[in-house]
Amino acid sequence: MKPRDCEVLVIGGGPTGLALACALRLHDVHVRVIDAASRPAVTSRANILHARGVEVLDRLGALGDLPERAQPALTITLYLDGKPAVTIHFGDLGLGQARPALYISQAEIEAALRARLGELGSEVEWETELSKITEGDEQVTATLADGQTIACSWVVGCDGAHSTVRQLTDIGFPGVPVSERFLLADVHADWPVSRSGGHGWPHEDGPFFAMPMPDPTGRDDLWRIMAYDPESRGEMSDQDILDRSRQLARERTGRTDIEIKDTVWASTFRTHRRLANTYRRDRVFIAGDAAHIHSPLGGQGMVTGIGDAENLGWKLALVIQGTANGKLLDTYEAERRPVATDVLRSTTGATRLQVGKGPVMRFLRNWVLVPLANLPSVQKRAGRMASQLWVSYRKGPLARRTGIRFGARPRPGDRVPDLPCHRSDGSHTRLHRELGGHWALLGKAGEMQDYLAEARDRLGDRVMVLEGGTASEVWLVRPDAHLAWRGPKGPKQLGRWLGGALQLGEARI
């Protein structure tokens, strides 16, 4: 058997693959990232990083100066008959998030993740194409297009909607088309609307959206536009795209004071809804667009993939380090596939409502959706859904193993807010700042040494003590900021949970 070249081979240098590689490196796991492309992408469809994605990058240490360079995604204003009808706010949702969503190119996010991965001692290997996967009992051999091989313990396909990994492992990817073509473009434009948020114009021929984008050149007139455009067909020249953008802006918004000066980048695409039958085939996993694709309305694709990566990363690390039983890896699909199912359902419904024609759809959009969107409770729910801060694993296998029922939130499996805490030396910090490759015990200072000893006996030294949470309980928070365990009954109960839920101390693979 060939010696292992790495523990985990990640296929795909996009946001999901980069986030996974960073998460693994934070646990000192030897990882390699390969990509068939010749170089990083300089343009991208995705242009918004929702609050959960911002949190994940923060925990990975990859957020850097993105918030300073991005446009804050605080609002989206919808117009009817040319007038503002409703403004939906995406600010503080009362869920303890540290930062709002950001309007910024996926290319910029990938660059920040690559920089962080470099700090952690790894990099993307470009022009390296996978052609074959051969699985053994204890390792996987990946054969490259040039005939070279890479031996590893695990392979993770983060290689997009047309995933080679998914195809090589015969994982089904059923789904259906959701709508006809959309036009997507980055344009320089004089646009007399606020750049503090996005704008949308529902229209009988389909919606038109405009979102402010930061421009690396320092200009303040870059906009991302997206319009339903079933009439676009085949290849379009740059001039065709520019003319079509101007036409759609004029027709859909009803405004004559918009001047689109040039098009920086453009694409047309159809929307599909697809979900993989399984996220795992023995020692091979898939994540991100390789596992699920859906309508881009709502900007849920990138944040869902990054969430997949963080969830899988700490679990792979525990198994690779011999701390957890390999069955722990089954909880990746059990926790993340239901999230994708919910996202597919919501984005499909929103897209069909936006592009649907006929009097019934127009009535629903103009006289039901808009009035409802003005209600504070509806706005809060809309912001919460877009943020993905709602994601909970309380119905998953790890939460069910606690054996304890709680009425108060957070319950085991829930996201724990970014709580203010104190370190052991008394200095102030926030919970999420201390995670990312670490577990956290929250409780009353001076009363957690036995809990710490129990946790470190099972998890190693990647457990820290923070003063926070509730005075009457101790919480164990996972590296992905979800509550693992809480209880007032003593450290032995925590040890039993670690032994049961993570199957620590049992036979390992």
Query: Using one digit for the tens of pLDDT, what is the confidence trace for 1-52?
Result: 678 899 999 999 999 999 999 999 999 999 999 999 999 988 777 888 988 9
- Name 235's Cβ contacts closer than 8 Å, sequence gap at least 6: none
Is residue 312 within 8 Å of 492, Cβ to Cβ?
no
Q: What is the DSSP letter of 22?
A: H
The number of residues in the chain equals 509
Residue 259 backbone dihedrals phi, psi, to 5 degrees: -120, 105
Residue 107, Cα to own-chain centre: how many angstroms? 15
Pair type for strands 175-190 and 259-275: antiparallel
**Which residue, chain included where needed, has tokens 């039993």?**
496
Instruction: Pull the structure tokens for residue 141.
Output: 């051999």
Name the residue type at position 344.
L
Q: Which of 117, 125, 101 is nearest to 389 (CA)?
A: 101
Q: Which of 389, 385, 297 is nearest to 78 (CA)?
A: 297
Helix, strand or coil, per DSSP, at residue 69: helix
Instruction: Pull the structure tokens for residue 410.
Output: 């957070």
Query: Using one digit for the tens of pLDDT, what is the confidence trace for 300-345?
Result: 889 999 999 999 999 999 999 998 989 999 999 999 999 999 998 8
Between 210-214, 275-279, 287-291, 465-469, the lowest mean confidence (pLDDT) is in 465-469
The C-alpha atoms of residue 286 and residue 280 are separated, in whole angstroms, by 7
The C-alpha atoms of residue 348 and residue 351 are separated, in whole angstroms, by 5
Q: Is the peptide bond before 216 cis (omega within 30 degrees of 0)?
A: no
Between 91-100, 145-154, 227-236, 442-451, the lowest mean confidence (pLDDT) is in 91-100
pTM of the predicted structure, to 2 decimals = 0.91
The C-alpha atoms of residue 56 and residue 59 are separated, in whole angstroms, by 5
Greatest alpha-carbon pair distance for the chain in Å reads 70
Average pLDDT for residues 258-270, to the nearest whole number?
87
DSSP 420-451: EEE-TTS-EEEHHHH-SS-EEEEE-TTS-HHH
Is residue 15 within 8 Å of 106, Cβ to Cβ?
yes
3-state helix, strand, coil in the chain (%, to 5): 35, 25, 40
Average pLDDT for residues 242-248, to the nearest whole number?
91
- Name 393's Cβ contacts closer than 8 Å, sequence gap at least 6: 335, 399, 413, 414, 482
Higher pLDDT, 338 or 296: 338
- Name 88's Cβ contacts closer than 8 Å, sequence gap at least 6: 75, 76, 77, 78, 373, 379, 382, 383
Is residue 5 within 8 Å of 296, Cβ to Cβ?
no
**CA atoms within 13 Å, Cβ hemisphere of 160:** 9
Higher pLDDT, 269 or 221: 221
Is residue 199 within 8 Å of 225, Cβ to Cβ?
no
The C-alpha atoms of residue 389 and residue 412 are separated, in whole angstroms, by 15
Q: Which of 458, 456, 308, 316 is nearest to 30 (CA)?
A: 316
Q: Computed over its alpha carbons, how large is the radius of gyration of the chain?
A: 24
